[in-house]
Amino acid sequence: MTEYNELPAVTKPRAIVVTNEEFVYGNIEAWINIIESYRRRHPEHRVSILYEGEPVNNLVSLFKLQRTPGDDSFKLVVTAPDKNLKDVPKLYRLLVEGAGPNYQRFIQKE
Q: What is the pLDDT of residues 14-70, one digit of tens each?
A: 998 877 677 788 889 999 999 999 999 999 999 999 988 889 999 888 777 655 555
8 A C-beta contact, residue 14 and residue 78 = no
Question: How many Cα atoms within 13 Å fall on the side-chain side of residue 109?
Answer: 2
Q: Is 84 exposed, middle or buried (0-12, 13-18, 19+ CB in 10 A)?
A: exposed
The total number of structural domains that make up the chain: 1
Pick from 14, 107, 13, 17: nearest CA to 67: 17
Q: Is 62 helix (H, G, I), strand (E, B) or coil?
A: helix
Read off the pLDDT of each residue in 97-109 and give the average, rounded to a whole number: 87
DSSP state, residue 36: H
**Domain contains 3:** no
**Domain contains 109:** no
Residue 100, strand partner residues: none
Model pTM above 0.85: no
> Rounded to an integer, what distance in angstroms lies between the CA atom of residue 93 and that of residue 47?
14
Phi–psi pair at 80, nearest 5 degrees: -135, 155
Chain mean pLDDT for the chain? 83
- Domain range for 91 is 9-102
8 A C-beta contact, residue 19 and residue 102 = no
**Domain contains 89:** yes
**Domain contains 86:** yes
